[in-house]
Each structure stands twice: as structure tokens, then as C-alpha cells.
């Protein structure tokens, strides 16, 4: 069986939030994501960026050696399983600067 599916946000998570510019890289997280990917986990870039801004984000990630299995969409096997590409990204782990830890989720 394949590893976990990890959905990761861009602005404020993979880099400092200074949209529409790209802030300083979160090198620690980028290194961790690359390690997880090497160990079999799959990565989805899950961002509000689109068009040229999304292309800039993807170029930034590739320049750091970070690539993704999907961008703002579900993995092919999830689309097949549920019969569509829902707006809700299916993942085991969501990494986002807007997330707040809630006691029962810790």
C-alpha cells in the first residue's frame, strides 16, 4: 500500500506569507516533505493561487527540489474511487498556516 496523502498550502506554510510575492522558504518543512515523499508519501499542493501566481509557486518549489503528485486536485486513484474530482481535497494530513490545533484533535 502507498504511503499517506499530504496536502500542503503554499503562502504562509511553504513560504512566508507576502502574497502576491513569494516569501522566504520554510526550508525545514520543505526538507521534511521531500523526505516524506522519498519514503512513499504523496504530496498535493493545495493553494488558492492560480494562473501565473500558481506557476510562480510551482517554479519556486521545483527550485527547492520539491515536486508534487497533484496540484489543487485529487490524486487519480481518489478521483477513480469516488467518481469525480471533488473541490474537497482528500488527504490524510493537511498542512496549512490557517489550521488551529483543537484539543480533541491533538
Give the CATH number for residue 71: 3.40.50.1000
Which tens digit of pLDDT belongs to each residue from 35-69? 999 999 999 999 999 999 999 999 999 999 999 99
Q: Which residues pair with 72 in a beta bridge?
A: none
Residue pair 9/47 in contact (Cβ under 8 Å)? The answer is yes
Which tens digit of pLDDT belongs to each residue from 24-33? 999 999 999 9
Q: Does residue 103 form part of some domain?
A: no
| Per-residue confidence (pLDDT) for residue 86, from 0 to 100 | 87
Calpha distance 60→50 (Å, rounded): 14
Q: Does residue 24 form part of some domain?
A: yes
| Per-residue confidence (pLDDT) for residue 101, from 0 to 100 | 55
Residue 99, phi then psi, degrees to nearest 5: -85, 140
Q: Find the DSSP H helices in the chain.
A: 27-38, 51-63, 76-82
- Considering its fold, how many domains does the chain have in total? 1
Helix (H, G, I), strand (E, B) or coil at 42: strand
Q: Does residue 104 form part of some domain?
A: no
Q: Which domain holds residue 24?
A: 5-98
Amino acid at each position: 500500500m502507498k504511503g499517506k496523502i499530504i496536502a500542503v498550502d503554499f503562502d504562509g506554510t511553504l513560504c512566508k506569507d507576502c502574497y502576491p510575492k513569494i516569501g522566504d522558504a520554510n526550508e525545514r518543512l520543505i526538507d521534511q516533505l521531500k523526505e516524506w515523499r522519498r519514503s512513499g508519501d504523496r504530496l498535493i499542493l493545495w493553494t488558492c493561487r492560480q494562473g501565473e501566481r500558481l506557476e510562480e509557486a510551482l517554479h519556486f518549489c521545483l527550485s527547492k527540489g520539491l515536486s508534487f503528485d497533484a496540484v489543487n486536485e485529487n490524486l487519480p486513484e481518489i478521483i477513480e474511487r469516488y467518481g469525480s474530482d471533488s473541490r474537497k481535497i482528500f488527504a490524510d494530513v493537511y498542512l496549512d498556516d490557517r489550521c488551529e490545533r483543537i484539543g480533541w484533535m491533538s
